[in-house]
Amino acid sequence: MLGWAIEWLQAFFLVADDIMDASVTRRGAPCWYKLPRVGMVAINDAFVLQAQMFRILKAHFGAAPEYGALLELFLDTTFRTELGQNLDLTAAPAGEGAAGAGAGAAAAGGPDFALFTAERYRLIVVNKTAYYSFHLPVCCGLLLAGHGAAARAPGVADILLKMGEYFQVQDDFLDAYADAAVLGKVGTDIQDGKCSWLVVQALAAADAAQREVLAAHYGRAAPESVAAVKAVYAALRLDERFEAYERDSHAELVALIARVAAETGVPAGVFEALLAKIYKRQK
């Protein structure tokens, strides 16, 4: 039931995120708000999903000694995710998401690349993705198993937040490089003008001409603009940069897991199982 509470929290985030990003598909199906009889009612539906998550927690864990700690963990995770989403949205140009990104970006003069820094990117992904996707479920398990001290250990957070950051970098890479049929959704980071790992890497490595191409086309929905941005990515060999990042992140996480397991007594398998699920994933 605790796992289901996490799933309801994620469903709340995803329904809302798809509206804010004007996404088209999610997991191979139309986004909830895209259904003809749903539309913007999906905003209220997202709130209902969040409320049900808290009802699940109260119904099944209200009498448990860990209830207070669990509730605080869910509240803190929700807050951090909302902060990460805010950083993500405000780094992109004001507009209407993928469906109207071209007009929105043009009206705003395109994305403000001064905001597209490695530091801001990490703040976005750690808060928006890492806390709810990795830190929350593992710490819930530790709390329910009576290991509250381990759940609060800095080393445990280091592993899970690093893993979440790695997962989001993978997601950014797949958004531009994966087959939509395999990924289960149509990538829209370029059209939305998102502060993604790929564009941050591109801006750091681009020459003057390539930077002009990015400034002219990033954050625009026209197919030729998307193609122009992807051509810069190809020229900069960002796929090779990603492969190196993935290899180095995996090695760093393996070493970190071994050290933290020895220090905290949390079985290394807890973290190794998660890492195995995401290493070199294709969707």
Question: Which pLDDT belongs to residue 78?
Answer: 96
* CA–CA separation, 140 and 132 (whole Å): 11
Task: Tell which residue, 229, 222, 223, 219, has the closest CA to residue 192.
Answer: 219
Residue by residue, what is the 3-state secondary structure of the chain? CHHHHHHHHHHHHHHHHHHHHCCCEECCEECHHHCCCCCCHHHHHHHHHHHHHHHHHHHHHCCCCCHHHHHHHHHHHHHHHHHHHHHHHHHCCCCCHHHHHHHHHHHCCCCCHHHCCHHHHHHHHHHHHHHHHHHHHHHHHHHHCCCHHHHCCHHHHHHHHHHHHHHHHHHHHHHHHCCHHHHCCCCCHHHHCCCCHHHHHHHHHCCHHHHHHHHHHCCCCCHHHHHHHHHHHHHCCHHHHHHHHHHHHHHHHHHHHHHHHHHHCCCHHHHHHHHHHHCCCCC
Q: What is the CATH number of the domain that holds 195?
A: 1.10.600.10
Q: In whole angstroms, what is the distance from residue 251 CA to residue 82 CA?
A: 30
pLDDT of residue 94: 56
Question: Do the Cβ atoms of 65 and 74 come closer than 8 Å?
Answer: no
Return the pLDDT at 186: 75
* CA distances, 146 to each of 61, 69, 123, 159, 269 (Å): 14, 11, 30, 20, 18
pTM (2 decimals)?
A: 0.85
Tens digits of residue pLDDT in 107-130: 356 788 999 999 999 999 999 999
In a domain, residue 161? The reply is yes
* Within a domain: 51: no
In a domain, residue 201? The reply is: yes
Model confidence over 85-97: pLDDT tens digits? Answer: 999 888 876 544 4
Asked if residue 1 is part of any domain, the answer here is no
| 210 part of a folded domain | yes
pLDDT number for residue 96: 42
Residue span of the structural domain in which 266 resides: 67-278
The verdict on residue 229 lying in a domain is yes
In which residue are the tokens 């990042």 written?
245
pLDDT at 93: 64
Q: Show the low-confidence residues of the chain (pLDDT under 70).
A: 93-109, 183
102 within some domain: yes
> Cβ–Cβ contacts within 10 Å for residue 274, how many?
21
What's the structural domain count of the chain? 1
220 belongs to a structural domain: yes
